[in-house]
Structure 1
Amino acid sequence: MSASPDTATFNGEDLNFDDFQLEDFDTPTIAEPLVMPERDLSFFKKIPVTVTLEVASKEIALGDLMKAGEGSVIELDKLNGEPLDVKVNGSLMGHAEVVVVNDKYGLRLIDVLDSALAGVTQ
């Protein structure tokens, strides 16, 4: 089997872009925005979450922690009187101070971060 001498080859000079019909591509069409019906989100208000009041923390070497014993003091990273971190399921929600209500600890919110409420519908 031998190659046919009549094999056509592509020649870029023979390509004429004026022959193409490109009118349809000049005006982009914009789809209508999809309107979603408002949903009742009251269901989410019943989902339990864990609220934690974090006093302070400190990163120390394991060797130093192993030396600690009864009566040892580990200095933490917050000052006395400084607002404490309020976390919801581990994410920072805001800051609070400790209060006592009916012989139980409680917290009084000082501020709530805007990012903690982003996307929440009332």
Structure 2
Amino acid sequence: MNGPLSDNEFDSLINDSDLGLPAIGSEQPAVESPPQLPQQDLSFFGKIPVNVTLEVASTEISLKELMDVDASSVIVLDKLAGEPLDVKVNGALFAKAEVVVMNGNYGLRIVELSGASLNDLTA
């Protein structure tokens, strides 16, 4: 078309749905979200052994006092009776617990988590 357009030709061009433009009021395509990273299966970490210990209490005494210890000696510790005990994982504080007996074995009932993350438990 080299000449001027007639009104019919102009209307035809405007109403032509083949222009590749979205219609007014039509929804715009959703913005593509970044691709999801594949979820890693971390279940193999569950098989890594860790050393869990229960620390009852501690105290500091002199070497002379230690040398005087015999079979009937009592060493006073720094924790009150009934106070929760420290649960350590690989030497790092993990929780507070109380001792329980289950089926004739000692066990631990966790009463408070220390808030330590797994990063804090690595040495």
TM-score computed with the length of structure 1 as normaliser: 0.63
The structure with the larger Rg is: 2
Partner of residue 111, structure 2: 110
Structure 2 gaps of 5+ residues are 1-35
1:61-112 Cα offsets, whole Å, 9 max, x none, are: 1111011111000000000000000001111001000000011100100011
Q: Give the match's secondary structure for 1:63.
A: helix
Question: What amino acid does structure 2 have at the position aligned with 1:74?
Answer: I
Contact 2:93–2:116 (8 Å) recurs in 1: no
1:24-49 Cα offsets, whole Å, 9 max, x none, are: xxxxxxxxxxx965422111111011
Going from structure 1 to structure 2, the CA distance change for 1:116 and 1:62 (only over 3 Å counts) comes to farther
Q: Give the match's secondary structure for 2:116.
A: helix
Distance 2:37 2:76 in 1: 53
Q: Give 1:1-122 correspondences, 5 Å limit.
A: 37-117=38-118
Question: What amino acid does structure 2 have at the position aligned with 1:71?
Answer: S
Alignment coverage as a number of residue pairs: 85
Structure 1 gaps of 5+ residues are 1-34
Aligned-pair identity (%):
60
**RMSD of the TM alignment (CA)?**
2.0
Distance 1:84 1:57 in 2: 11
Contact 2:86–2:96 (8 Å) recurs in 1: yes
